[in-house]
Amino acid sequence: MKTGILGMGAYLPERIMTNDDWAEFVDTSDEWITSRTGIKTRRIAAEDQSTADLATAAAEDALKDAGLTAGDLDEIIVATDTPEMYSPDTASFVQQRLGAGPIASYDLGGSGCAGWVMGLDIARSRATDNRKIMVIGVEVITKLMNWDERETCVLFGDAAAAAVVGTGPEAAEVLAATMGTDGTQTDILGMPLGGAREYFNASHLETNAHRHIVMNGREVFKNAVRRMGEASQQVMDKAGVGIDDVDLVIPHQANKRIIDAVQKGMGLSDDQLYINVQDYGNTGSASVPLALWEARSKGIVRPGDLVLLTAFGAGFHWAAALVRF
């Protein structure tokens, strides 16, 4: 019996926003955005859609793919930086909407864009005794970010993707996984306002400061490339394989420049790399599972393939996993 992914699902909002659309809000252009990020379009959640809405839809899709019902679940993990509300956590809403029993349901909140891969590692360790665990990556960041900040607002999109993790002969086996955190880098990426350290007050409304995303691009780039490369090597070493044995690498889809640097550093061929950042932008914790779901749906991931997942995010967190389909 193998422990791994039993089924996958995703949800993408209907609204598509192009780079030209963004030019109506901020001083930018398709050429400016594309040359710096590789992003062409992204999805935007509707006004009446929340994080739990997207997460529930993706989870239902994953259950259908796995041939299971909500009643079969033993645990729900939601990785998100854009929760349904401050408290309770998003997983509580998802558990109720799915109609699952009174099972453990919790968020990996603030785990950054590495959240879903971290959740996959956690789920693998808990999928014993035929337990089935739902792992969801979801972001509705366009509702929280500042639409006037040209350097950051054009980078993000909304999406959700999910996987059911458990044991079975047909599971896509998680052969190895790793994750880590460097707390000395908490200042290079994040949304500082709103917590107990610097709580929100009325004065922040005047400058929209509560929607401000801090991003030190140079340091994020350097750390992301380094940590994704190191984490990838660690899981390959654990599994006893080399990069030539890997059929497909799915990195966090933050921007094309980071992906290009990871490709060069790892010595990957174009055929070994899956990229969809041009279509969806940075969807945070949904990024890696969304790309994996899409590659699998397109038949790019085939039975027997060895797929390497690697991601980074605020914290500064990173994670990687090696999966045999």
Phi, psi of 92 (to 5 degrees): -65, -40
Catalytic residue among 210, 212, 252, 317: 252
Among 113, 153, 223, 317, the active-site one is 113
Alpha-carbon torsion (141, 145, 150, 151), positive or negative: negative
Q: Among this protein's residues, is 212 annotated catalytic?
A: no
- 113 is known as an active-site residue: yes
Kindly report the three-state secondary structure assignment for every residue of the chain. CEEEEEEEEEECCCEEEEHHHHCCCCCCCHHHHHHHHCCCEEEECCCCCCHHHHHHHHHHHHHHHHCCCHHHCCEEEEEECCCCCCCCCHHHHHHHHHCCCCCEEEEEECCHHHHHHHHHHHHHHHCCCCCCEEEEEEECHHHCCCCCCHHHHCCECCEEEEEEEEEECCCEEEEEEEEEECHHHCCCEECCCCCCCCCCCCHHHHHCHHHCCEECHHHHHHHHHHHHHHHHHHHHHHHCCCHHHCCEEEECCCCHHHHHHHHHHHCCCHHHECCCHHHHCECHHHHHHHHHHHHHHCCCCCCCCEEEEEEEECCCEEEEEEEEC
Active site residue 216: no
Amino acid letter, 176 = A
Catalytic residue, candidates 210, 223, 282, 317? 282
Give the residues across from 2 on adjacent strands: 168
Q: Would you please indicate which residues are annotated as catalytic (active-site) residues?
A: 113, 252, 282
